[in-house]
Amino acid sequence: MTAIVDSYYGDSGLMLYWTCIVSCFGFAYALLINKSRTPPQIWLAVIFIVMGVGMSVTFSHERYGADDRNEMMNSLNHVFNAAMGIIVLFYMMSLMRPEKLTRRYILSFCAVPFLFLLLAFCSSMLPRTVDWSNLADYFRHPLVVFRIFFGVLLICFHFYLAFTLFSMYFSHKRFISESYSWSEGIHLRWILWVIVIFCIFAVMDMVWYFNYSGSKKVYVLVLWIVAIWTLFALGFRQKKMPETGQSDNGVEPEEEDKCDSVRPEDSQHKIKEKLLAYFEKEMPFLNSELSLLDVAEHLNTNITYLSRVINKEFNMNFYTFVNRFRTDYAVRLIDKDRNNLKIDILYRQAGFKSKSVFYKYFRDKTRQTPQEYKAGRR
């Protein structure tokens, strides 16, 4: 371990570095040859490619050009880092806001890596001689000032990306609750881990930039390997997500708001009555993939207005509204046939896709588990 800490370009250090690079290109290849790949997985493959190229350039420069370090080459790592941050944004948008990922939007971000590339070129033109013995002169040196400015600019850019990603996630989470009666596979809870991983990437890159200690770089490489493999494991099995920016009926939100000048007979109270009658008589909640669009089409209204009615009249979102009907139905099934009905069959018959969600709503209603409730009714 001491040898590793002393030089990250020893045998173990080289193994770690090449493990990162080979993993990036290998995972990109695995994603691209997958016949059932989704658009988000293509963006994820691009992330791995940019990451692998960036690490290869940094490795080649530091391994074989260490005697003649060029400031521009030293800063190229951050050009790739900025590019990767942008592609991460595109990847997340392809999962949660694909309708916003237009060609114009993509091109508008292409200027950012070029800006960092220009800054890297400017830094290569600055004098390299720095007086390390005089702290005051050191911090007044143009190269040092430029490096600090370069690093702060990159940090601010990453903060902007992180804020955008978190905002997008919570907007997506709210959309799922308002539009779907299930969240299994579309809630993207795992995406919080992905965002954290990319935040770790950004921190590790800044450590790499400002600290040349071999020990620090060894630990950074280990974290990179763990993060890269985790990211692939999460992204490889992810399916295409429902879109949020456009309603399920294909009507833009602005157009739907115009539709809110509904007929008098379609008042809020009227919609509420029709909704309750529909759920009590036809029991659409037994469809485990029931969506707000399905209900809106049956009631001959638009989803924005229907969602508003559910929020105001029942003080809950569509997800909770449907699952409470499912829970009531499950209780009735137990009361009717408490001896023979198995719990593993019960929750599916009631329209739940997830046993854990079923247990949560059942406890909220009865203060008991289904087994306890079933035993108490004997």
User: Lowest mean pLDDT: which of 6-20, 65-79, 214-228, 269-283?
Assistant: 65-79
- Indicate whether 318 pLDDT > 90: yes
More confident residue, 65 or 348: 348
Q: What is the pLDDT of residue 363?
A: 93
As a dihedral over the C-alpha atoms of residue 338, residue 344, residue 349, residue 354, rounded to 10 degrees, the angle is: 130
Average pLDDT over residues 107-112: 82
- Cα separation, 165 vs 90, whole angstroms: 10
- The answer to whether 277 touches 292, Cβ cutoff 8 Å, is no
CA atoms within 13 A on the CB side of 289: 3
What tens digit of pLDDT does each residue of 145-173 get?
777 777 778 778 878 888 888 888 888 88
Q: Please give, one letter per residue, the 3-state secondary structure of the chain.
A: CHHHHHCCCCHHHHHHHHHHHHHHHHHHHHHHHCCCCCHHHHHHHHHHHHHHHHHHHHHHHHHHCHHHCCHHHHHHHHHHHHHHHHHHHHHHHHHHCHHHCCHHHHHHHCHHHHHHHHHHHHHHCCCCCCCCCCHHHHHHCHHHHHHHHHHHHHHHHHHHHHHHHHHHHHHHHHHHHHHECCCCCCCCCHHHHHHHHHHHHHHHHHHHHHCCCHHHHHHHHHHHHHHHHHHHHHHHCCCCCCCCCCCCCCCCHHHHHHCCCCCHHHCHHHHHHHHHHHHHHCCHHHCCCCEHHHHHHHHCCCHHHHHHHHHHHHCCCHHHHHHHHHHHHHHHHHHHCCCCCCHHHHHHHCCCCCHHHHHHHHHHHHCCCHHHHHHHCC
What tens digit of pLDDT does each residue of 349-362 get?
999 988 999 999 99
- Indicate whether 184 pLDDT > 70: yes
- Indicate whether 31 pLDDT > 70: yes
Q: What is the pLDDT of residue 27?
A: 95
Average pLDDT over residues 332-350: 81
- The answer to whether 28 touches 48, Cβ cutoff 8 Å, is yes
- Cα separation, 59 vs 220, whole angstroms: 14
- pLDDT tier at 32, thresholds 50, 70, 90: very high
More confident residue, 205 or 118: 118
Complete domains list, the chain, with CATH: 2-236 (1.20.1070.10), 323-378 (1.10.10)
What tens digit of pLDDT does each residue of 238-250 get?
766 655 444 444 3
- Indicate whether 68 pLDDT > 60: no
